[in-house]
Structure 1
Amino acid sequence: MNKLKSNKTERLTLFAITWPIFIEILLHMLMGSADTLMLSQYDDNAVASVGVANQVLNLIIVMFGFIAAGTSILIAQYVGAKKEEEANKIGVVSIAANLIFGILLSIIIFILAPTILKAMNIPSELTDSSLIYLQIVGGLSFIQALILTIAAIIRSHGFTKDAMYVTFGMNLINVIGNYFFIFGPFGFPVLGVTGVAISTTLSRTIGLTAMIIILYYRTKGNIPIAFLFKKFPKEELKKLLKIGIPSAGEHIAYNTSQIAITYFIASMGTIALTSKVYTQNIMMFILLFSIAIGQGTQILIGQYVGAEKFVAAYKRCIKSLKIAIFVSTVMAIIFTLFSKPLFSIFTNNPEIITIGSTLLFLTIILEPGRAFNLVVISSLRAAGDVKFPVYIGIISMWGVAVVLSYLLGIHFGLGLIGVWIAFSADEWLRGLLMLKRWRSKKWKQMSFVDKETVRPLSIQEKKRVPSTFH
């Protein structure tokens, strides 16, 4: 990938990097919401079935993401340090590693799907359709592993628009496939959940093909695959895992805690489970602003740290955090004001609409806290401080979110309201601790780029950097 022309760090702006990421995430969310909306016209139980299966699949995607996370951070730092050859090697190794890992996990999820769903204690009326979706989409989930990896390589060089275009195409194909398999026009078989699973997998397959073509085009065919066969890439894998495993650890802790909480909610009944799925689908459109800002900030800070522009990195995180808090709060208020019409798009069940509207109101408190985590944790990881968020995450997600969800939701009988209060407590506690860590500046010594080979600071840059950063 030595001819993959990277944008200059100093020319990149948060807006230039973030808006394509925002559109891409929006399209991903629209794809999920399209599944939910179209299935809601078919059967509310089908919605809950896909929601439960996706809870497991989200964990699998996070496990794929630990290679992609390491790829994104390492390549951004190497690009900032102007070490293109090292960035190229990391890209090739990450693709090969996630292909092997993805195939293994796909086989495991296909075989163990019945056991997993049984362990989740889901209602019996949801079991069969959840199993079908989990085995089809999960059994071919290695496709998503490759998409995540190639997209991380392209984005870290600053080409965030490419992934956006691919996601748009995947979204369109998925919606068209859903229409044919759910509503059965022109004599097509009505397959319900099975049809949605087929449509999702087909759109991902086409998306992967497009990603490979884009990577080939951006590199002008110079992908150093031969590097893999010269010697075992021990050093590159070591660096990827050193970042990726702790980075994924925080996500794994979150998703496993969500599975535990879903277990509690499942005991409340199908209405509660369906209300959670609808509410979180709507909340994702609030959340996407903070996600996009966090991912864009991560790319910039990775490049700043690679170039040893520590002051710029520190200020970028704080500015991004303020933007994310403001935008997420405003969006939460707006969505709350229109909560009943929004839920009416998905269902006519008055109980679900009432519960969901209450949960959206509580989101006004929850989302600003989540913005702290999405922006500051991304910044810490980009700078190389990957372990601290994991330690705090495990303690808070399980010690606060899971424990309080049980106490408030089940023991004290507050139901989903108690669960949402637990979510808020967890997000705010972790967020404030992450901000304190960022302000400590301990991350400035944790770059993964070899210090002795980093481009020296110019005289002008040194004048702008306080002595505490040298």
Structure 2
Amino acid sequence: MRRRGSFVRPYCTRLLERYFSGNTMDYKQIFAIILPIFVDSTFIVLMALMNTAMVSSSGVAAVSAVSMVDSINIFIVSLFMAVATGGTVIVAQYKGSGNVQMLPKVASQSISAIALLSVVLSAVLIMLHQPILNGLFGKADADVLHNARIFLIGSCLSYPFFGIYQAIAGALRGVAQTKACLVLSLILNLTYLLLNVILIKGFDMGVVGLSISLIIARVLGMVVAFVYLLKYNQTLRVRLKDMLQLQWGILKKIMFIGLPFAAEQMFFNGGKLLTQTFIVQLGTLAITVNAISGSLSMLFQIGGSALSASIVTVVGQCIGRGDIQDARKFIRSFMWLSSIFFVVIGAVLLAIFPLLVGMYAPPAEIVPDIFELLLLIAIVQPIMWSLSFIMPAALRAAGDSRFTSVASLLTMWLFRIILGYILGITLGMGIMGVWIAMVAEWGVRSIIFGWRFRGNKWYRHKLI
């Protein structure tokens, strides 16, 4: 056993050095970035699953309502994260170039921009929540709409706190302080889970309890993140007064990345929201199938999502140092590692599917439909997902935001929306038709972004 172990360890080290070490970073630095984000992603997804499972105890109407409103929440939160990504990219490139004087300026402007954006969006949605729900989901049952109204207002109240939290986390990821991000995420999500256990399971408050938990957890998350940033962080050295002054030169750099990505996310998630509206036409059980399948699919994507977030820091710092060779090498390595994650995680999750789906206590007649959807993505994701989502994140980290956004928008609307409607509604394939269209979109995105990476235009943008 000792001889075998003594052989395996050097072999693994050589393998890591070959694929994850370069001129600008070694494999220890890269995995110091990846591992906390992977743990964070795993924790967030597991918390989401447990929260959805708890809400399911309040009935199918509650699950359907949360699923519908979450499609709106994803649409809004993605705008915050798009601007935060702009901050992450600029911070990472300045960090890579060695210009530490610019780090607090970029971080403070990212926080200020997202704070303003989140307050405005929160106010607008609260004022217009009734016509928005009626316009998007008017065909849903009355009890579903009632629960959706409660959860949407609660979500809107939490937006400013969550937006600021995301801006701080984005700046920390830019300087590779992913351990701090992990701790902050644990505080926010454990609070959310604990409150849900108390309010939903203990006091049977259903969607009202979920809304209260969300607001309190995000307020606490923002406060802790702020205290850490201002009092304890020694890398960014952000001061409160810097956040109160808008510096248009820095904001312009952030928005060069953030605005195209925000537009992409707005239309991308708007398209997903539109998809949700014609799923509503299929009935409450179809909404529930989509909600549970979508929730479980996040488990399949834990590894890929972690690598997608990590690669922004890695490629951003490589580009900041001017090392294109390392950027290319690490992107390829991330692609292969992501595919391995998908194969392993997919095999494990399909094996324990009965246990997973049992958490939601769904009606027995929809369980086969859920399994079919998960089997579809388990087969396809190792081939297509990485090129479709990790690759554009890498290109964006190099400043190639406009191309990735336009390509994503076109594929979203031509395939996921139009083809999804044709297959799901016109041809009567239901939820399976909608998911097949989504998979077709992944395939087209993979071809486009793979082709872009083979060229040299993606790294020729000058951001700093």
Structure 1 partner of 2:172: 154
Q: Does 1:290 align with 2:301?
A: no
- SS of alignment partner, residue 80 of structure 1: helix
Q: How does 1:248-263 map to 2 (within 5 A)?
A: 248-263=262-277
Q: 1:393 aligns with which of 391, 400, 408?
A: 408
Q: What displacement does 1:66 show? A: 2.4
Give, in whole Å, the separation in 1 of the partners of 2:236 and 2:386.
Answer: 39
The code of the aligned residue for 2:148 comes to S
In the TM superposition, what whole-angstrom CA distance separates every residue of 1:93-141 from its partner, at most 9, and x where no partner exists? Answer: 1111111111111111111111111111251231011110100111231
Asked if 1:23 is matched to 2:39, the reply is yes
1:226-278 per-position Cα deviation (integer Å, ceiling 9, x unaligned):
4466x751101111111101122222232111111111111000111011111
1:351-385 residue CA offsets vs partner (Å, 9 max, x unmatched): 22111001011112442322212210111000010
1:60 to 69, 76, 82: 76
> Counterpart of 1:275?
289
Which amino acid letter does the alignment assign opposite residue 345 of structure 2? Answer: M
**AA in 2 matched with 1:213:** V
What is the root-mean-square deviation of aligned Cα atoms in Å? 1.8
1:288–1:87 Cα change, 3 Å: same
Q: Normalising by structure 2, what TM-score?
A: 0.90
Further displaced range: 84-93 or 298-307: 84-93
**Contact 2:311/2:394 (CA < 8 Å) preserved in 1?**
yes
Structure 1: which 5+ runs fail to align?
Answer: 1-7, 450-470
Structure 2 residue 127 is matched with structure 1 residue 111: yes
**How many pairs were matched up?**
437
1:407 to 395, 417, 422: 422
CA deviation vs aligned residue, 1:313-359 (integer Å, no higher than 9, x gap): 01110110111122213322332333233212212411221110010
Aligned AA for 2:183? Y
Q: Is residue 356 of structure 2 the alignment partner of residue 342 of structure 1?
A: yes
Tell me the equivalent position of 2:461: 446
Find the residue that maps to 1:73 and give its secondary structure.
helix
Amino acid at match of 2:434: V
Match of 2:87 in 1: 71
AA at the equivalent of 1:157: V
Distance (Å, rounded) in 1 between the aligned partners of 2:292 and 2:173: 31
Q: Deviations over 1:135-169 (max 9, x none)?
A: 01112311110010000111111110111112112
Is the CA contact (8 Å cut-off) linking 1:253 and 1:393 kept in structure 2? Answer: no
In structure 2, what is the Cα distance between the partners aligned to 1:49 and 1:448?
42
Residue identity matched to 1:313? A
> How far apart, in 2, do the equivalents of 1:221 and 1:414 lie?
52
Q: In the alignment, is the contact (CA less than 8 A) between 1:306 and 1:447 conserved in 2? A: no
CA contact (8 A) 1:366 1:423 kept: no
How far 1:225 sits from its partner (Å)?
4.1
Match status 1:130 vs 2:148 = yes
SS at 2:205 equivalent: coil
TM-score, normalising length: structure 1: 0.89
Tell me if the contact between 1:46 and 1:126 (Cα under 8 Å) persists in the aligned partners. yes
Query: Hey, what does 1:196 align to over in structure 2?
Result: 210
Q: Identical aligned pairs, as a percentage?
A: 25
Q: Is the 8 A contact 1:339 1:360 kept in 2?
A: no
Cα distance in structure 1, aligned partners of 2:381 and 2:236: 43
Q: Counterparts of 2:218 and 2:170 in 1: how far apart (Å)?
A: 16
From 334, 350, 353, the counterpart of 1:320:
334
Distance in 2 separating the partners of 1:100 and 1:416: 38
Q: 1:260 to 1:440 in 2, by over 3 A?
A: same
Provide closer, same or farther for how the CA distance between residues 263 and 81 of structure 1 changes in structure 2, counting only shifts above 3 A. Answer: same
Structure 1, 362-371 or 415-424: larger mean CA deviation: 362-371
